[in-house]
Structure 1
Amino acid sequence: MLRADLQVQIVVCKLHVVAGTVSGMAGSTSMAARRELADELRRLRGGRRGAVVAADLGWSESKLSRIETARTGISDADLERLLDALAAPVGERIRLRDLADRGRARVWWAPYRSSVADPYDEYVAFEAEAVLMCEWEAQLVPGLLQTDEYAHAIIQTGADVHDPETVQRRTALRMARQSVLTRDPAPRLCVVLDEAVLRREVGGREVLRRQLQRLFDASRRPGVELQVMPFATGAHAALGEAFVIFEFEDRPAVVHSEALTGGQLRTKDTEVLVYRKAFADLRRRSLSVDETREVIARTGERLD
């Protein structure tokens, strides 16, 4: 069982989401606004080299790059200097200032930022804004479908985790993220799991048994499509890498692939297409949704 203090952390984080629906929506909007501003600033720079613009402002090139890739917000003072340097038309400045203001809005997961790496902001924002998520996992149950005790068992083994408080806060945040599946309208979630995920006893047999029950229940939810890739399939197009394809209503898709030292984002059309084809191959080779549900149930029964 989870410790009482962890359960309290999870309840508190969920209350932030439920009681702060407006704040949660602002979190989604703020990241979208930051990316829109970044796109506009790159457009205004045109053919000028980033290194030259940064030098003119007395900035490092990396500072300008972080702003232009939406990895960080921008202060009012820096925005005005940058707009001057880019000779931004007067008529556009009001809209760009508004985007900058919205990009600095407080997001619902802000209290938990200190326990996770900076790029996590982008990942949570993608979840909040996506209309479709296609995920391949070869090792673990995806975070949006994990139980709290399963998540806790995973997080506490992280090589970058050094204290119980970080484990608690990361677990609480992961549980709070799951509210995205109950929003209106909810995104579609298509998941392909390697059969190994159903058998790896993360947290022990009882934890895995309850996790499998959660997966079985999730497979019955509208908008959730769960498939298992059986061992007998052999080689396939996504060996050695876990990834999520985030599809949006009004902008290009983004792929997030996971590694020990953090995730990597892929936004080039050619790269995204490779991952779409790989996911389509995974789905073709996997068990159907109904067959998957039966396999999950049988695997859980063996743990009783």
Structure 2
Amino acid sequence: MHSFKELQEIVQKEIDGLEFATPPEGLFEPMKYILGIGGKRLRPILVLLSANLFKEDLSKVCLPAIGIEVFHNFTLLHDDVMDNAPIRRNKPTVHEHWNSNVAILSGDAMSIKAYQYIVSCEDRHLRDVLTVFNQTALEVCEGQQFDMEFEERKDVKVEEYLEMIRLKTAVLLGGSLKMGAVMGDADSKDSDLLYHFGVNLGMAFQLQDDLLDVFGEEAVFGKKIGGDILSNKKTFLLIKAFETATGETKEELNSWIELENFNPEEKIEKVKAIYEKLNVRDFSQQRIDEYFSLCLEYLDKVNVPAEKKKELYTLVKRLVNRSV
């Protein structure tokens, strides 16, 4: 069994070795740029960890795993255009570094490259791998559409939000694990268990991001705290606050959401105080804990020795306690 760190090194070496040598350079340079500015590489590592539960030789799994990372970065590239985001991983986004047309076209090419890498899996796995990937890719798009629609709505419910993050974020973790299991020759039961493990892990991961954006320590979190508050982003915290608030508290929250000219630090402080008053931090942490518990239940049921699942258990523990 490979360790998480070993797989991280394998993934980075594969990414560093990708060739985008054909012209026009203007199409491929943004791909190299976004892949070169880092990231957790969690999704391709999950593909490899999952496959490694069932077989040792990962040589035929590495490139399809990289395909998942290329696909993930393609979605980030297009998301940044739609969100008009200026920064990604402390670097200018592709549309800022070049322009939106370049970002859209290079993103399109990245999605095709992702397919090229994914179909390099063994022929006997191709249909099952593509079935999982196609469903996952479509669901990611569905999640992004819901996210965009939520920006225009004031009546988003918690369950709607949870479904949106399931689609936009969590299914790609689940899909990565299931694809790895398929390529590792796991049976359908274990493949499905790993899928559900990944989805629940993804749900906890995203809800943690929401929480850390408000209550994390800036020096540890690595970015400005309160960005979601300043942009009125529909997160679990904001939606739960609206569902819970009444009377003057609801009026105050509404006033901060509708205010166009404000002091950023004051808005963060006031909205954060409302969240504390309404206990939405505790509501959020409770949901996070529930999802972490669920993902461990699914992992426990995967029919391989516990020792082989050690890296996945360690990953969950690390994410439970993360502060970034």
- TM-score (ref. length: structure 1): 0.27
Higher strand share: 1
Answer 1 or 2: which has greater helix percent.
2
